[in-house]
Amino acid sequence: DIQMTQSPSTLSASVGDRVTITCRASKNIRNYLAWYQQKPGEAPKLLISKASTLEGGVPSRFSGSNSGTEYTLTINSLQPEDFATYYCQQYYMYLTFGPGTKVNIK
């Protein structure tokens, strides 16, 4: 199985901050990496696929990038509605999710 790690597990930030979440794959997943946002009591919502392709309707302050097996989700100018838990997911081979990063209000 391909293992996914995320860091940090939690982070505290303020409205307007730039936030970066990192996801690392145990093997080369060839950019087959998606990012999801989940709010309490709701289903996850797809933000980004193929490492950097923003889904329709997702604000442009969200972006994805990668370097080797390290993938990054960046939120520029954090908004109140962005406080949530974020998961990465590889879909190169037998898909797996990262453990999640909870973004709290500082």
Binding site for other proteins (CB under 8 A): 1, 32, 34, 36, 38, 43-46, 49, 55, 87, 89, 91-100
Minimum distance between the CB of residue 10 and other proteins, rounded to whole angstroms?
A: 13
36/78 with CB nearer other proteins? 36
CB of 46 to other proteins, least distance (A): 5
3-state class of 49 per DSSP?
strand
CA dihedral 97, 44, 60, 23 (to 10 degrees): -20
CB 103 within 8 A of CB 19: yes
